[in-house]
Amino acid sequence: MVNESEFVTKMKHLRAGTRLNSRVPVGVAWSENGALRKAHGYTVDISPKGCMVVVEQGFAVGQKMQLTNLVNGRSTEAILVWRGHEGRTGWELGLELNGAEMEFWEVEF
CATH at residue 36: 2.40.10.220
Do the domain assignments include residue 68? yes
Is 29 among the domain residues?
yes
8 falls within a domain = no
Domains of the chain: total: 1
C-alpha pair distances (Å), 56 with each of 11, 53, 68: 30, 10, 15
Rg (CA), the chain: 15
Q: Are 39 and 25 in contact (CB under 8 A)?
A: no
What is the block-wise mean pLDDT of the chain (109 residues), using blocks of 10 residues?
Answer: 50 60 95 95 95 95 97 96 94 94 85
> Does residue 44 form part of some domain?
yes
Residue 4 within any structural domain of the chain: no
CA dist 90 and 26 (Å) reads 13
CA–CA distance, 10 with 55 (Å, rounded to integer): 27
Q: Is there a domain that residue 9 lies in? A: no
Q: For residue 67, what are the domain limits?
A: 18-98
| pLDDT for the residue numbered 108 | 80
Establish if 108 belongs to a structural domain. no
Residue 57 DSSP code: S
